[in-house]
Structure formats: structure tokens, C-alpha cells
Copies of this chain bind each other. A is one copy, B any other.
């Protein structure tokens, strides 16, 4: 499994509850696509969300988010970490 970070913009003013619901929408379907969303972090002033996930391909990560209702094309594969 590869690791990925994806970025969403435009989430200005989103609440903790709303982020939790969006994350749960990913979790509910991620197995279909062979991925897993581990964590998500939100800057509600800038409106940026960062999601850390594992999966088979960038496309699988994009499909999960798209099906869950919050698509993004900004998905980075992370073979190197410290």
C-alpha cells in the first residue's frame, strides 16, 4: 500500500462535526476502492483540508473522495517520510 496526502480547498468555516461527517463518508466506502483514510486536518480560516491515506493508487484515493461527495485532484503520493 502506498501513502498519500490530498488537499482540499474552500472549506472555510467548516466545523469539527462537518469534518467528522465528511471523514466518515470516506470510511463508509473506502474498502470498495482498496484505500483507507487515516487522518484529516482542517484550517477553517484558510479553508484547507489535508487528508493522510493509504491505498493502491492515486486514482483510488480520488475515487473515494469523489464518491463521498468531496472530490479533489490534488493527491500526492508519499514514498518518503521521516
Contacts and interface: CB of A to CB of B under 8 A. Distances in A.
Contacts of A82: 16, 19-20, 23, 39-40
> For the complex, would chain A's binding face be called helix, strand, loop or mixed by DSSP majority?
strand
Among A3, A15, A81, chain B packs the most CB atoms within 10 A around the CB of: A81
Interface residues of A, number: 27
A80 B41 contact: yes
Contacts of A7: 7
Interface string A7-40: 1000000111001100100000000000000011
Nearest to A21: B82
Contacts of A40: 81-82
A14 B22 CA distance: 33
